Amino acid sequence: MTAGAGQTGGELPHPPRLARWLLGRALPPGARAASIAGDLLEQFHADVAARSRVVAVGRYWRHVVSVGVRYGLKRRRAGRAVDRTGQPVSIGKRVSMRMGLLRDDLRHAFRSLVGKPGYALVAVLTLAVGVGANTAIFSLLRGVVLNDLPYHDTDRLAVLWTLKLGQNSRDGSSYLNARDWKAQSRSLADIAVYARTEVTRATITGGGDAERITRAMVGPTFFQVLGAPALLGRTLEPADFEAGPRPVVLSHGLWRRRFAADPRIVGKTIEIDGQALDIVGVMAPEFALLTPDAQLWQPLSASSLWARLQNEPTRGIDLLMVVGRLQDGVTFEAAKAELDTIAARLRAAYPRANARVGIEIEPLSDYVIGSRTERSLWQLSGAVGLVLLIACANVANLTLARGLARRHEFSLRAALGADRRRLLGQALTENLVVALLAASVGLLLAWLGARAFRAWAAGAVPRLENVPLDPGVVVFALAIAVAFGLLAGVFPAWQLSFANPGEALREGGSRAVGGRSAQRLRHGLVIAELSLAVILLSGAGLLLRSFLRVQAADRGFDSQNVLLMQVDLPDSYDSPAGSAGYFREALARIRALPGIAAAGAVSDFFVDRRNADSVISVEGQPARRPDEPAPPLLRDIVIPGYFEAMRIPLLKGRLLQERDLSPDAPRVGVINESMARAFWPGADPVGRRLKWNANPDANTPWITVVGVVADMRRQRLDKAAIPSMFQAGISDAMDITVRVSGDRDAARNAIRAQLLALEPEAPPYGITTVEQKLGASVALRTLQTLLLGALAAAALVLGVIGVYGIVHQSVVARTQEIGLRMALGASQRTVLWMVLSGALGLAAAGLTLGLIGSLALGQTLSTFLYETSPLDPLVYATVMGVLLAVTTIACLAPARRAARVDPMVALRYE
């Protein structure tokens, strides 16, 4: 039974699942258990109705616990009904005895922790850092990756792509191809299309400021395939695609922002591009995941595209995105195999439009969350897991050291009659207290951490808004804190529980060093900590090196102080002269403003790599063979002033000029370096001619190359430039680029005001700085590097603290021995070296193991590395150097202390 499907309005609330499960465990299975569960459930519903859910949950828990305690004890009593004296022990008395013992243990634990606050503080904080980091990452992983997507049965949803076999790239699909996929496929239950949102922008007019928005124009089965209900009203239905009324479904964001979350919005209208549309529904906020920018959903039939899409000439134009739902029981592999045969059939049937075109199928979750995001979150959770292990080892070490000092106390207790179980219980209770304190501090850290992450990664990671600190996360934090707290305490407690009563009477003896096994264990723990720290450090080092490489990568232009804004002209400008008039006037007004150094425009600055699918014919070069892969290729339309605004260096020839804009000017283009390399390797391209998207003999004019400019990294900082050509021209939708020399905010506001005054129906939107946008393109990488770096630093500190602790302790314990050595003639340097070499031995062992581990794990990082080998020697050398240096520094103090031992004092010691 799944929630979501077929849920009726009158569904009664459920008590907490964990409590129900516990109740099931507490009672022997059978009819009685069922009737008791029924009573408690009925009471729960009554409490929910009469009081509140919180009260009801609290009471339910109390009842479950009381039933569990009674029945649990009853079961034990069945085994041994009488106590040692032959008298039966009442249940109540048993409970109170047990509670009394626990209370004593707890009191004792608190007292001894408060008595040595240093230990308690370090142990709690160490564990809390580990628990907090893990909890934060766990909550992220759950909210972003593990929780179901907001659609029905999302495992069966897929995105279908047109695969361009020649260019090894993929794109959406055309309506006709998508229709044929659906008609011919048996493995797909249904498919739905929606127009790529960048082609369906619109302006909200009427009532308030005009506002440029992104909308999703969807095919008839869109909402049915995704399977998500509307929050208010209804979704779009196939009948909405007939001519007649003009329905629209609002996004949650638009509904709240523009209509103040009006609960009676359904039935009202909204004006889009001067046309009143009927609001039929509002979607829940999470529904937007697939079309994150969309402010509203409209039938594709409302667009002028709709009629054109049905015509055969548009078969090769991939304007639509396609989502499909697999039939039950069909795997993605099976669907892929079937789609391959369909693609082959369509290639044969439509050789012109579908030449060298395949079909790719991708699980929807991979598309919306992104495998990189998912993988980096899993990787981070691995890294925080290592930190937790290190923290645990550290606490174990501390506890061992403390246990050695407390042997006396424990043997005294043993001598006074405490049995092993009591001693073990008491030692573990202390760890439990530490663990619980660590869990609460850790939760606080996790909350702060997750909040910071959310603020920081917004935009780089999807679905961050569903990352709450809910009961599941609290349980997780408690569980790992208790598990690792106890894990850290088990061995020390076990050792302590062997406390020999006789030892209490003997004074002195080997008090501090402890048994050989304990010492070996402590060394082992420190080596493990260091090796884990090395793994984290080298991972962080590799990422940092990549990050620095990306940051240092040559952008090819000056991205500082450039403002970028998009302007889409309304239909009234639907002529080349109209658009040209507007943009010339707009740029003239912008250039006249104070604090503006240069201004121009480009068709789409951050153009998607998917659009780089043009092909050219170069004069004097043989045509490319059909099976020869074509390089990706882009064409940009620019208004002169663009190169100056972006400060793109001119390498050869000339830039585009104002006169190139005139309709009767000769056709010229400026190309970038990559394009020059791809088509005229080793030759000077200036003066050469080419035809765009056409055969050499086609009736299109030749374009002459007049200049070569530097490559620009304008989509992502970590992706090389795409070969592209710039031509002078003006279209009805362009990105205006402005280099600002004065105050940026003032310039932004002035430009906005100027453009609105020029044309109120075309508000500039998406106003941003280029630097901001490029920074966002590597936000995930930045975040990953920072987080892994912080974790590695924490690991290093913890590991080094472990080494310090051991060295310090051994120096204290060996004071007498050192004194003796010095009395017998050992020099200070010998002693210093003796102590240091011990520490460095541990470091070397940890380093060796850690390096082996990181070489093995380095490959998993390779997808995140940028021009960096997972075996980068510099990184590993640095890690080695850092570890040895930090270890040495940490051990200098105890080593110096050893070297300063006065032989006389040492010999008198004890």
Partner 1 sequence: MARFVVDYNLDSIYKVGSEVKGPIMSVPAPLGEFEQLVLLSIARLGADAYGVTIVEELERQAGRHVSRGALYTTLERLESKGLVRWKVDAGAARERAGLPRRCYIVSARGVTALRASHRILQRMWRGLEGLLEEPTS
Task: Show the tokens assigned to 134.
Answer: 């893990």
Token pair belonging to 356: 């060298």
> How many angstroms separate the CA atoms of 625 and 329, rounded?
42
Q: Could you tell me the smallest distance in angstroms from the CB atom of residue 425 to partner 1?
A: 24
Judged by CB under 8 A, does residue 19 bind partner 1? no
Identify which range of 38-46, 126-134, 344-352, 769-777 contacts partner 1 by CB under 8 A.
38-46
Please identify, using beta-carbon distances, which residue of 16 and 370 lies nearer to partner 1. Answer: 16
> Shortest approach of partner 1 to residue 872 CB, angstroms?
60
Binding to partner 1 (CB under 8 A): which residues in 83-112?
86-88, 90-92
Q: Binding to partner 1 by residue 46, rule CB under 8 A?
A: yes
Indicate whether 657 belongs to the interface with partner 1 (CB under 8 A). Answer: no
Residue (92 or 682) nearer to partner 1, CB: 92
| Smallest gap from residue 38 Cβ to partner 1 (A) | 3
When asked if residue 719 is in the footprint of partner 1 (CB under 8 A), the reply is no
| Contacting range for partner 1; rule: CB under 8 A; set: 78-86, 390-398, 493-501, 685-693 | 78-86
Establish if 593 lies at the interface with partner 1 (CB under 8 A). no
Query: Residue for token digits 């129900």?
Result: 20
CB closer to partner 1 out of 43 and 519: 43
Spatial distance between the Cα atoms of 316 and 346, rounded to a whole number of angstroms: 12
Torsion region of 321: left, alpha or beta (phi above 0 gives left; psi -120 to 50 gives alpha): beta
CB nearer partner 1, residue 2 or residue 304:
2
- Contact flag: residue 689 with partner 1 (CB under 8 A): no
Q: Provide, rounded to whole angstroms, the least separation between the CB of residue 520 and partner 1.
A: 48
Instruction: Give 42 or 554: the residue with its C-beta nearer to partner 1.
Output: 42
Query: Strand locations in 607-699, DSSP E?
Result: 616-618, 634-639, 650-653, 668-672, 689-692
Q: How far apart are CA 431 and CA 454, in angstroms?
A: 33
Query: What are the residues facing 296 on neighbouring strands?
Result: 215, 250
Burial of 695 (0-12, 13-18, 19+ CB in 10 A): exposed
CA dihedral 839, 844, 847, 851 (to 10 degrees): 180
When the beta carbons of 67 and 178 are compared against partner 1, the nearer one is 67
- For 184-206, give the DSSP string: H-SSEEEEEEEE-GGG-EEEE-S
User: Tokens 């039974």 correspond to what residue?
Assistant: 1
Of 82-90, 146-154, 208-216, 288-296, the segment contacting partner 1 by CB under 8 A is: 82-90
Distance CA 585, CA 594 (A): 16
332: its two tokens: 């993605």
How many residues make up the chain in this entry?
910
Interface with partner 1: number of residues (CB under 8 A): 32
DSSP bridge pairs for 708: 652, 671
What is the token pair recorded at 844? 């070397």
Q: Is 34 in the site for partner 1 (CB under 8 A)?
A: yes
Query: Which tokens hold the place of 785?
Result: 């590097």
Compute the least distance from the CB of residue 72 to partner 1, in Å: 9
* Range in contact with partner 1 (rule: CB under 8 A) among 42-50, 349-357, 581-589, 752-760: 42-50
Q: Can you tell me which of 4, 18, 42, 345 binds partner 1, judged by CB under 8 A?
A: 42
CB of 170 to partner 1, least distance (A): 49
Among 18, 21, 24, 32, binds partner 1 (CB under 8 A): 32
Rounded Cα–Cα distance for residues 831 and 840 (Å): 14
Q: Which two tokens stand for residue 205?
A: 């007019």
43 lies in the binding site for partner 1 (CB under 8 A): yes
| Closest CB to partner 1 among residues 90, 575 | 90
Candidate residues 4, 24, 38, 629; the one interacting with partner 1 per rule CB under 8 A: 38
54, 82, 97, 344: which one contacts partner 1 (CB under 8 A)? 82
Structure tokens, 609? 């790599």
Report in angstroms how near the CB of residue 20 gets to partner 1 at its nearest.
10
The nearer residue to partner 1, 68 or 229, going by C-beta atoms, is: 68
Instruction: Say whether residue 12 binds partner 1 (CB under 8 A).
Output: yes
Binding segment for partner 1 among 37-45, 533-541, 619-627, 692-700 (CB under 8 A)? 37-45
Cβ of residue 102: shortest distance to partner 1, in angstroms? 19
Q: Would you say 63 or 252 has its CB closer to partner 1?
A: 63
- Surface-to-core class of residue 872, CB atoms within 10 Å of its CB (0-12 exposed, 13-18 middle, 19+ buried): middle
Task: Identify which of residues 44 and 175 has a Cβ nearer to partner 1 in the complex.
Answer: 44
Residues 604 and 661: their CA atoms lie apart, in Å, by 18
Question: Which residues have CB under 8 Å from 454's CB, separation 6+?
Answer: 464, 465, 467
Minimum CB separation of residue 7 from partner 1 in Å reads: 15
Nearer to partner 1, 24 or 576 (CB): 24
Per-residue interface string for the shown chain with partner 1, residues 50-69, x marking contact by CB under 8 A: -------------x-xxxxx
Q: Look up residue 563 and give its amino acid.
A: L
In the bound state with partner 1, the residue whose beta carbon lies nearer, of 18 and 623, is 18
Pairing of strands 232-233, 275-282: antiparallel
Please, what is the minimum distance in Å from the beta carbon of residue 472 to partner 1?
23
Complex with partner 1: residue 31 or 416, whichever CB lies closer: 31
What is the smallest separation between the CB atom of 540 and partner 1, expressed in angstroms?
51
CA atoms within 13 A on the CB side of 187: 19
Cβ atoms within 10 Å, residue 720: 10
Three-state DSSP state, 725:
strand
Give the one residue of 41, 145, 266, 849 binding partner 1; rule: CB under 8 A.
41
Q: Rounded to an integer, what distance in angstroms lies between the CA atom of residue 784 and that of residue 780? A: 6
Q: Residue 14: which residues within 8 A CB-CB, separation 6 or more?
A: 20
Angle at 605 between CA 722 and CA 556, to 5 degrees: 55
Helix residue spans in 116-232 (DSSP H): 117-141, 175-184, 222-226
Judged by CB, which is closer to partner 1: 74, or 98?
74
Residue with Cβ nearer partner 1 (12 or 757):
12
Give least dist CB 33 to partner 1, A: 9
45 touching partner 1, by CB under 8 A: yes
CB of 96 to partner 1, least distance (A): 13
Beta bridge partners of 768: 564
- Residue 18 contacts partner 1 per CB under 8 A: no
Of 73 and 145, CB closest to partner 1:
73
User: In the complex, what is the shortest distance from the CB of residue 13 to partner 1, in angstroms, rounded to a whole number?
Assistant: 11
Stated as kind and residue range, the H or E segment containing 43 is helix 31-50
CB closer to partner 1, 90 vs 500: 90
CB of 470 to partner 1, least distance (A): 24
Q: How far is CA 230 from CA 250, 289, 554, 765, in A?
A: 10, 14, 48, 29
Binding-site member from 16, 22, 61, 71 for partner 1 (CB under 8 A):
71
Conformational region of residue 442, where left means phi above 0, alpha means psi within -120 to 50, and beta covers everything else: alpha
Which CB, 33 or 415, lies closer to partner 1?
A: 33
Cβ count near 181 (within 10 Å): 23
C-beta of 64: minimal distance to partner 1 in Å? 8
Contact 788, 380 (CB under 8 A): yes
| Cα distance between residue 782 and residue 775, in whole Å | 9
CB of 779 to partner 1, least distance (A): 47
Report the nearest approach of partner 1 to the CB of residue 34 (Å). 5
Residue 39 to residue 415: CA distance in whole angstroms: 51
Binding region for partner 1 (CB under 8 A): 12, 31-32, 34-43, 45-46, 63, 65-71, 74, 81-82, 86-88, 90-92
